[in-house]
Structure 1
Amino acid sequence: MKSMNDELYDFLLEHKEAITEEWLSDRDKKDGSIYSKDAGEWSEQMLREQNSLTNLTIASSLLEDQEVFENNKKNWAKLVAESRVSSRTPIYEVLEALSKLRHTFWRFIEMFVEREGNRVLRSNNINWGIVINQAFDDIIVEFTKKYDELMNTRLVAQQSLIEELNAPIIKLNSTIGVLPIIGDVDTTRVQAIGDFVPNRCVELGVSHLFIDLSGVSVIDTMVANHIYQLMQVLDLLGIESTMTGIRPEIAQTSVQLGLDFSKVRTYGSLQLAIKKHFKEFSVN
């Protein structure tokens, strides 16, 4: 004989599409949101399919075998988190949607209770209140964990791209690279360049790096000092460095700082430096 939990589970599965339809009909209009009533046919179909899985997941919390709920919860959280990160949906919109679904779910549980009448005991109602609400809380926690994990992965990837764009090393051949520094260079940016470039040179197998400053308008004393330190770090790694595009004011700043660039090759232009380097290389 089936327990009341099993009967409610069967009832919710039989009505899971109806739960979805009622939940969808309760949407408001929100500009740019996939949960908007006018988001479009594709968004509505996606929500319908995902909500069907949500209903199955919540209903499975009523089963005696809790492993089924745990598996459903993880699968649901992964699917929905990936979808919401991809659509750039903020967490608060997902939580609002789940709150509305929770209310819809309880309306259908009330329908079941009314249908069964005296067969539903007070203890059943209390138990369902605990189990169903806990299930919603559990999927929210699982979703936010997965969402946060995916967002952090995306942020790390974006930070890596920003660092690469901030200090792009262009390889001329298997061992020679060019680092064109363009635009305003402040202390924060030059520190980021100093942290990124040595590791990137090692990753790319660069043994000679041309650092071109022709695209830099102004360099203060702190920035000049950081560039000098960068070249020292490259030297310790066995990576030869050549500075090109040095403007008169940059040279004056370096002299005023007492920075010793006597061991560093410097050229007025990147074109001249590359031309002379490859000429020497071909002679050798």
Structure 2
Amino acid sequence: MTQAINPFIKFIQTHREELLKEWPEKMKSMDDQKVSSVISDQAYTNICNEYLNILLDNLLISNEDVSNKIGDFSHKIVQLGWSLSFISTGLNELNKILFEKMTENSSEEEKMQLVWQFDKWISPVNREVLNQYASSWEHTVSLQKIALQELSAPLIPIFENITVMPLVGTIDTERAKRIMENLLNGVVQHRSQVVLIDITGVPVVDTMVAHHIIQASEAVRLVGAQCLLVGIRPEIAQTIVNLGINLNQVITKNSLQKGIEAALEMTNRKIVLMGE
């Protein structure tokens, strides 16, 4: 598309330096300091400059390469932690800056004509940026959810044939299922003889949680290993007694250290202090 037809190309090229001073400053002024406190001034300028490059590419060539660039750009601003509303408002601010500068000495008719040009040339790019941002954000959140699920119930080998699963936070049905899967897969993978489930970081042990722990212990036993429940704090012990929960089938210890000592004994080993 030639510059004679498109009113934005020559203007952006001619006033690029001015735009890259005013727009990033406007972006920073809109921020609530949560982002700007960790992002440098140059980073704002770089992001704004990259958007202007995309805008010019779209105005000049308008092909699939521009869509790919928008995808990369959107992924980058997701990684910066900018919200969708912040990006949308920021793009609108650029529109205002462009419109005000391009219509300083224009008639009402010329202004209305430029509004139509905005809708034709600029708005589609902005919509694509926001759509790609939303898609990239959903993908990022999905990956984070998978990572959190994997970290929510890790099985860690600490000695030969001895593994520990430290649990932190509440345990619901979905997480209990993940715990069971990781336990069984880990026992086979690490050839565990003893598995320690550490509930030091679990705030509440109610009937449902106790039921899941008993199930996990039984499942571990069925694949040829033994299960120890460690990290039972006094308040947790009191809750278990008050609820009438029966943990007789599970070996319990009040700390991870005691559990490791018991696991070593169960595998015919012990900790020996070396003399000087």
TM-score (norm 1): 0.67
Q: Confirm or deny: 8 A CA contact 1:58 1:136 kept in the other structure.
A: no
| 1:224 counterpart = 2:210 | yes
Aligned to 1:62: 59
Residues 265/53 of structure 1: CA separation in 2 closer, same or farther (3 Å cut):
closer
CA 157–244 in structure 1, closer or farther in 2 if over 3 Å, else same: closer
The answer as to 2:47 corresponding to 1:50 is yes
Counterpart contact for 1:61–1:69, Cα < 8 Å: yes
Aligned-pair distance for 1:200? Answer: 2.5
CA distance in 2, matches of 1:71, 1:212: 47
- 2-structure distance, mates of 1:29, 1:220: 46
Give the structure with the higher percent helix. 1
- Whole-Å separation in 2 of the counterparts to 1:76 and 1:214: 43
Where do 5+ consecutive residues of structure 1 fail to align?
Answer: 115-119
Q: Of 166, 190, 193, which residue of structure 2 is paired with 1:208?
A: 193
Question: For the structure 1 residues 209 and 179, does the alpha-carbon distance in structure 2 shift closer, same or farther, using more than 3 Å as the test?
Answer: farther
> Which residue in 2 is equivalent to 1:148?
138
Query: What pairs with 1:83-162 in structure 2 (closer than 5 Å)?
Result: 84-85=80-81, 89-110=82-103, 126-161=116-151
Q: RMSD of the alignment, in Å?
A: 4.4
> For the Cα contact (< 8 Å) 2:162–2:263, is it kept in 1?
no
**Counterpart residue type for residue 227 of structure 1:** I
Are the aligned partners of 1:5 and 1:62 in contact in 2 as well (CA < 8 Å)?
Answer: no
- Please give the secondary structure, in 1, of the residue aligned with 2:228: strand
Say whether the 8 Å CA contact 2:162–2:194 is kept in structure 1: yes
Output the CA distance in 1 between the equivalents of 2:199 and 2:53: 62
Question: Shift in Å at residue 239 of structure 1?
Answer: 4.0
Task: Show structure 2 runs of 5+ residues with no match.
Answer: 271-276
Shift of the 251–272 alpha-carbon distance from structure 1 to 2, 3 Å rule, reads farther
Equivalent in the alignment of 1:117: none
Identity of aligned residues (%): 17
Residues 122-131 or 62-71, more deviating: 122-131
The Cα of 1:169 is off from its aligned counterpart by 3.7
Secondary structure in structure 2 of the residue aligned to 1:171: strand
Aligned amino acid, residue 160 of structure 1: E
Aligned residue among 239, 243, 246 for 2:228: 243
Distance in structure 2 (CA, Å) of the matches to 1:241 and 1:224: 17
Q: Specify whether residues 100 and 249 from structure 1 end up closer, same or farther in structure 2 by C-alpha distance, changes over 3 A only.
A: closer
Q: 1:243 to 1:68 in 2, by over 3 A?
A: closer
* Structure 2 CA distance for partners of 1:56 and 1:154, relative to 1, 3 Å: same
Distance 1:21 1:233 in 2: 64
Conservation of the 8 A alpha-carbon contact between 1:243 and 1:266: yes
Deviation of 1:100 (Å):
0.6
State the TM-score, normalized to the length of structure 2.
0.69
